[in-house]
Structure 1
């Protein structure tokens, strides 16, 4: 019998103690997402180049040299800020990863930090863009001999093949930054029309609402404002566990919105009677 494929599900225990059991993205999925991002980068770069040509038309050789310098600088800034800016966002993913339902997460279960995102994307320069730029430059100068081409291919090959030789399919950048690229956790979706016409799906007892106070209400509001899907999944599961929720296990956003509204109403009503609860540890 052929050996069974290694499962790609990993424990992902958040600081709240919730295990999301994330499924890691495969090498093919990651390559496809990277290819989509490269296509987007090239389209933006082409548009930028055309705009710059219109500005520099008729300037002669000096303009051509300036154009080359601007193009190289623009390409450097674009490729670095594109990946970093999108992965620092609430979704932790570039456009290519979003299309393929993936995101970058911290392997320790915590929030994805800025220095981790910068580190993993800085390594992409060494893994891919630096040897590619060097090879392109040598080719333009007519100096690309067999040894130069071989060295560039060997350099890129070591990094390109690295994800195939570790069980978590990590790039060198992931290894250094302490990150995974995981498939987006599944969320249950419903028809919005049916939900609007139906009776409220979520209702809570006074005991369930009494599990939290004002501090937790503020934190829940921050999560809802950010719209981070992973954070909403974690918070929804944490609340369900704490209050012993046995009702519908639906989409996290409606559940959190319903609980936020109900908790807010309860806290405001109690304050009218002089009963204020600052957090879940206070009596109330």
Structure 2
């Protein structure tokens, strides 16, 4: 033990110290259920606040546009149909307040226009698929975190005591500043739903993996049973692994897939070539099944 300690001390002494090198406090290692380590970077408080302001500005812009359209309609009809216009106004307000964030986060990008502009998106903290239940849960809490405090402050007047005003202000500050007091910058809604907001920088996709990384024809032949071991979810994870192409992850995923499908690796078989071949074959298999109206969501789907 002593020689090893001396060696470590000597190495530390000869290693130059870089005062500018700092640990990225927003970097996270997220291991998916398939065993793939997706290195993520959390969105910071400034990005999330800016995204929220953009979304609120869009919502306000829609309400203003509807109001102007309603005024023009009332002028054109000489005041007729104001009940219908009022009802439509309440409907638009309801949709914006309750469904704006939910509908946009249910899309494949899992991001509102504000989040897209700031390059962030919502993701599940367990590395799994972002479910609709999680999206509804995180946005249901927004009523308590944002809308209720804003409504309270907007409605407070002279008849409300100073202590009640102070309690409302503290209520707002607790929820507004809550992400600043936890390491992962989580809202209360994120904690309830098991989600977080991660950095999703816009990047140009590489050319189709099936065409650019196809190994020699006939080198890899997979049986139908071997291809039916995985589904669409695993295909997407495999595609991400191949695009990142980190050697350690490639070797780990190749070993897991070989074990799963019972594949005997040939001498000098490249892990990258194996994964590219399996990706191409799996994609072809899933696409052919889709033409028959059969979509296998993941490896647990028996359809």
Q: Normalization by structure 2: what TM-score?
A: 0.64
What do residues 117-163 of structure 1 show as CA deviations (whole Å, max 9, x unaligned)? 00101111111111112322345xx6466444433321110001100
Q: Secondary structure at the match of 2:103?
A: helix
In the aligned structure 1, how far is the partner of 2:166 from the partner of 2:238? 46
Q: Are 2:145 and 1:127 aligned?
A: yes
Name the structure 2 match of 1:25.
Answer: 43
| CA gap 1:21/1:3 in 2 versus in 1, 3 angstroms | closer
Instruction: Identify the range of structure 1 (34-43 vs 232-241) with the bigger mean alpha-carbon deviation.
Output: 232-241
1:210 equivalent in alignment to 2:222 = yes
| Structure 1 residue 164 displacement after superposition | 0.6
Q: Which runs of 5+ in 2 are unaligned?
A: 1-18, 259-269, 289-298
1:88 to 106, 127, 133: 106
Matches within 5 A, 1:139-158: 143=159, 146-158=162-174
Query: Is residue 116 of structure 1 aligned with residue 134 of structure 2?
Result: yes
Aligned match of 1:233 in 216, 240, 262?
A: 240
Q: Choose which of 170, 175, 178 in structure 2 pairs with 1:159.
A: 175
Q: Is the partner of 2:123 in helix, strand or coil?
A: strand
State whether residues 185 and 230 of structure 1, in contact with CA within 8 Å, keep that contact through their aligned partners in structure 2. no
Judged with a 3 Å threshold, the aligned counterparts in structure 2 of structure 1 residues 259 and 88 are, in CA distance, closer, same or farther, namely same
Q: 1:149–1:11: structure 2 CA closer, same or farther, 3 Å change rule?
A: same
1:259 aligns with 2:270: no
Q: Which residue in 2 is equivalent to 1:7? A: 25
Check if 1:41 corresponds to 2:70.
no
Partner secondary structure for residue 93 of structure 1: coil
- Assess, with a 3 A threshold, how the Cα gap between structure 1 residues 48 and 105 changes in structure 2: closer, same or farther: same
Counterpart in the other structure of 2:262: none
CA distance in 2 between partners of 1:112 and 1:185 (Å): 18
Pick aligned residue for 1:74 from 64, 75, 92: 92
Q: Residues 148-187 of structure 1 correspond to what in structure 2 (within 5 A)?
A: 148-184=164-200
Q: In 2, are the aligned partners of 1:22 and 1:183 still within 8 Å (CA)?
A: yes
Mapped to 2, the partners of 1:7 and 1:210 lie a distance apart of 43
- Whether contact under 8 Å (2:227, 2:282) holds in the other structure is no
1:20 partner SS: strand
CA distance in 1, matches of 2:72, 2:203: 47
Larger radius of gyration: 2
Query: In the TM superposition, what whole-angstrom CA distance separates every residue of 1:69-127 from its partner, at most 9, and x where no partner exists?
Result: 75455323212211001111111111111122211111111101111100101111111
Name the count of aligned residue pairs: 244
Shift of 1:35: 1.1
